[in-house]
Amino acid sequence: MDTLSYEPIEHLRKLSLNELQALWELVPTDRQRAYKAAYDREVRSAGAVGSDALERQVAAELLKRYDEAALVPVGARWARTPGRVQAAASQNVALDAPEDELKPASSKPSTKVVLVLGLLTLAGMGFLVTHLAGGGQSSMVTATPRASLTPTPRVSPTPTPLALEDQDAVIQGGDSAREAAYPVSLQITADEAAPRVWVVQRRKVQASEWNFDPNPDTASFVSGMSVRPVIGIPWSEENAAFFSQIEAGTSFLLTMNTGAELRFVFDDKRQVRRSETSIFRQISPGLALLLIGERDSEGNPTAARTIVTAIYPPEQELSRDGLVLGTGGSVQEGEIGDQLSLGNVSITLHNAQTLMDSPNLPTGMQYLLLDFEVAAGEEILDTTNWQIEFMDSTGQVYPTSNDALTYTNFDMLPTEIPALSSLSSSAAYLIPQNASGGRWLISDNAGNSLAFSLSWDEPNPAANYEGVDVRLVSVTYSEGHITTRLRIYNGQSETLHFTQDDIWLALGFAPNPPGPRNPAEGLNPFDLLPQQAVDLTLIWYWSSEPYASMGVGEYRFAIQLSR
């Protein structure tokens, strides 16, 4: 074998050891490393290291995963190969994705074709390991493993091919920004179609160029569009087919980084020119989805693209006066200790507290823990249709967080409560640390609603830097960059916590520029223990400004730069 070509799994199983090795050698070295790393990662995650029997199960599941769902490793996640790529690979035809730039013709197979063919070879090597370890009994390969290694559940609310367990890496791969809240996940549910989910990245549009991730399972949110989010969906055959199914009755669920969920309903679908800018106007709440990256038969960007708009129903909001917006219906209001009625059910909120010292908390977030009592009426109480949420003082809505139930006094609310009985339960929410109050909302499918007003103390004041020594060791600069070296010594008796916002640099054309302040974006939050020192090297963008000022907590440094 001297050329890399498509080989069905049935053919790979019939090849000899030398033939398999020869086929594997045709795969580029970097691809070999990537596939070997993906295989080793699956073995480790399944706990099969050191066990031939368990590793055979892993190899069998990998073969099954590719054969049934065409799942292939893409970096640290798994994704389903598009149908057009599978068809091209089976015919040994080089294929350029429509979202790629035009490139000169080459005699080498395209990247995606090599990816598919390389995975086939990897599957063949997995079969080889199974074949050798099993003493030549090929039946070991088709044995059903005890535990499934499929990256998505067998019964899933969405057929999305993306492996969502690695969505954090995808989200963080977008452009950095300082928005307090931004979308991280988009789910669309169209009539007579399974829901579709995209992981959302933040992207900046600069010089009229929208640099988006061409992965059809990664959407792009235009940074700064908060009133009417604008999100781009990369063009692919699957995405285009799904867009054609979007019509009246389609619902959209946008999940924010804060845990809040924003719900939208279909408004309109039409074709717009690429030069259309009115879609970016932030004049009313809503959502705009664009199918971007489509190219014509000559490989040029199409002149028009599909846009889907959705509106934000006000009925899902509660006003601060206790009215359901758009309906005029009243909502029972109460505070901690009050007993309110939800139909024939009585609910009493006994306690509310916040927790900010949990080791698993994301930066800038806190847990809100609530203890309450539910008393059922004369019939068995079914709570599966209850909607229980927390809305802060700004109107942001947060769903319950099961991760925080470890710290609550009682278990979560059961789905069924016996008639004429009462029980104590707890609810938990992940909310920002700067939230100091809001409303706890409960509603059922019969239109009954109630709300408890909550408030607590403001977050702790800024840290005291008395006894902390900060030294600006050096400042060096080159074209486009400034490099600063710091040494920070904690002479206090308490631990000092540093975040990106505690260290900043401001550039200007006069001494000691006050701003704008650029936080240390790449700095991971850290704790500085008492009597401990840390050395930091930070790199900042620079546009040839002659002056700079730097802040570390309460410390300020003046910097003058000369060319």
Confidence of residue 227 (pLDDT cuts 50, 70, 90): confident
What is the CATH architecture of 164-312? Beta Barrel (2.40)
Confidence of residue 324 (pLDDT cuts 50, 70, 90): very low
Domain with CATH 2.60.40.1240 in the chain: 332-455
In whole angstroms, what is the distance from residue 259 CA to residue 182 CA? Answer: 10
pLDDT averaged over every residue in the chain: 76
What DSSP string describes 113-179?
HHHHHHHHHHHHHHHHHHHHHTTT-GGGTTSPPSS---SS-SS-S----S-GGGHHHHHHTS-----
Q: What is the mean pLDDT of residues 49-68?
A: 78
Q: What is the mean pLDDT of residues 248-257?
A: 87
What DSSP string describes 426-478?
EEEEEEETT--EEEEEEE-TTS-EEEEEEE-PPPPPPPP-TTEEEEEEEEEEE
**C-alpha closest to that of 112 among 201, 202, 214, 41:** 214
Q: What angle do CA 536, 537, 540 make, to 5 degrees?
A: 125
In whole angstroms, what is the distance from residue 224 CA to residue 211 CA? Answer: 15
**C-alpha closest to that of 89 among 64, 114, 106:** 114
Tokens of 58: 């892993």
Q: What is the mean pLDDT of residues 162-168?
A: 54
Give the burial class of 440: count Cβ atoms within 10 A of its Cβ; 0-12 exposed, 13-18 middle, 19 or more buried. buried
Residues 94-132 pLDDT 10s = 665 444 444 444 444 445 444 555 555 555 455 444 444
In whole angstroms, what is the distance from residue 205 CA to residue 22 CA? Answer: 46
Q: What is the mean pLDDT of residues 512-529?
A: 83
Domain with CATH 2.60.40.10 in the chain: 468-560
Tokens 């190969």 belong to residue: 81
Q: Give pLDDT, residue 328.
A: 42
Query: Does residue 372 surpass a pLDDT of 90?
Result: yes
Confidence of residue 193 (pLDDT cuts 50, 70, 90): low
Domain with CATH 2.40.260.10 in the chain: 164-312
In whole angstroms, what is the distance from residue 70 CA to residue 66 CA? Answer: 4
pTM: 0.36
Q: Give pLDDT, residue 24.
A: 79
332-455: in CATH 3.40.50.2000: no
In whole angstroms, what is the distance from residue 315 CA to residue 328 CA? Answer: 10
Residue 266 or residue 76, greater confidence: 266
What is the CATH architecture of 468-560? Sandwich (2.60)
Q: What is the mean pLDDT of residues 528-550?
A: 88
Q: First and final CA of the chain: distance in angstroms?
A: 60
**C-alpha closest to that of 203 among 183, 187, 227, 186:** 183
Q: Give pLDDT, residue 427.
A: 92
Confidence of residue 316 (pLDDT cuts 50, 70, 90): low
User: Which helix (H) or strand (E) is 535 found in, with range?
Assistant: strand 533-541
